[in-house]
Structure 1
Amino acid sequence: MKKIVTLTMIVLFGLSSMLYAQDQPDTKEQEKIRALEIAFISRKLNLTENEAQRFWPIYNEYKRDVRQVMLTQRNNPKRDVIDDEQMLVDVRKRYKERFVGVIGQPRMNKFFEAEREFRGVLLNQLKNRPNKPVLQRRNSK
């Protein structure tokens, strides 16, 4: 029951965020994806209410740092792919112990696997949707 309440709160939070972002289509879509990612990870990890209260703030910091690394990479035309991967690994290593402290080693591994799995599912969905504006833009350049 606690898991259902937690998941419902998370989804409602994500949906309410989407309502505020309706003016900007990119932000709206990003918020929708974020809500789906949170729901996906929640299902995979089966967090208790207490774990969820401790996990999500760490997760939000982690995602902020990952986004920062990706922005840095995107803005560096002379970047090295191996260095890019190392920067992301370094972020994951920095957060590893914090995640382990909340959800334990096995579920920390499951979290990183779920994150990777979600990206795969998302890419598949984007490839297969009827109007592919993002992918078409990238392919047409």
Structure 2
Amino acid sequence: MKRLIVLFTCLAFVAHFTTMAQEEPQHKGREKLKAARLGLITNRLNLTEEQAKGFWPVFNDYDAKRSELRKSVRQITAESRNLTTSDDRIATNLKEILNLKQKEVDLEKEYQAKFLKVLNVRQVSELYKTEQLFNQMLVNRLRGERKEPPHTKE
């Protein structure tokens, strides 16, 4: 029951933050979404105090590096969409996107090992599931769908 309340609370935060993000400058909306995401992770991982001390610095470092890689991919993709971009440049961009995606996979491998130093294997698995859950909740909210969140951990 507690998990159901937590999930509904997180969903309400996402709904509120999504609405507020449209009314406020983008960076404030992003910060609120990030806070909701971190709250959901905190609740779902059930970290001990000692685990939290070791986990959050590693996670924040991982998240920042992953965000930079994804930002680079978005910038390159945007450039490729430009009608004046040459075919050669688009081909170069495609190769660069693959390189960045490989870097993201390498980053994930590196940080999975780091996560396993402070979390147990079930918590690491739950971290990945929680990130997927949050993203799906956000997508559903942006689409206007009102799907009921899962009642239990999978």
Does the alignment reach a TM-score above 0.5?
yes
1:112 counterpart residue number: 128
1 CA distance for matches of 2:102 and 2:125? 18
Aligned residue runs from structure 1 range 11-26, under 5 A: 25-26=25-26
Root-mean-square deviation (Å): 1.9
1 CA distance for matches of 2:100 and 2:44? 27
Shift of 1:100: 0.4
Answer with 1 or 2: which has the greater Rg. 2
2 CA distance for matches of 1:38 and 1:69? 20
2:120 is paired with a residue of what secondary structure? helix
Q: Unaligned stretches of 5+ in structure 2? A: 1-23, 81-92, 146-154
**TM norm structure 1:** 0.67
2:54 counterpart residue number: 54
Letter of the structure 1 residue corresponding to residue 59 of structure 2 = Y
Shift of 1:97: 1.1
1 CA distance for matches of 2:126 and 2:28? 28
Letter of the structure 1 residue corresponding to residue 124 of structure 2 = M
Percent identical: 28
2:94 counterpart residue number: 79
1:33 equivalent to 2:33? Answer: yes
Letter of the structure 1 residue corresponding to residue 30 of structure 2 = Q
2:142 counterpart residue number: 126
1:101 equivalent to 2:117? Answer: yes
Shift of 1:88: 2.4
1 CA distance for matches of 2:122 and 2:108? 15
Higher relative contact order, structure no. (Cα contacts within 8 Å, ≥ 6 residues apart): 2
Contact 1:73-1:79 within 8 A present in 2 as well = no
2 CA distance for matches of 1:52 and 1:100? 13
Task: List per-residue Cα deviations over 1:1-46 (Å, max 9, x = no partner).
Answer: xxxxxxxxxxxxxxxxxxxxxxx61111001000000011111101
2 CA distance for matches of 1:115 and 1:89? 16
Letter of the structure 1 residue corresponding to residue 127 of structure 2 = F
How many residues are matched? 106
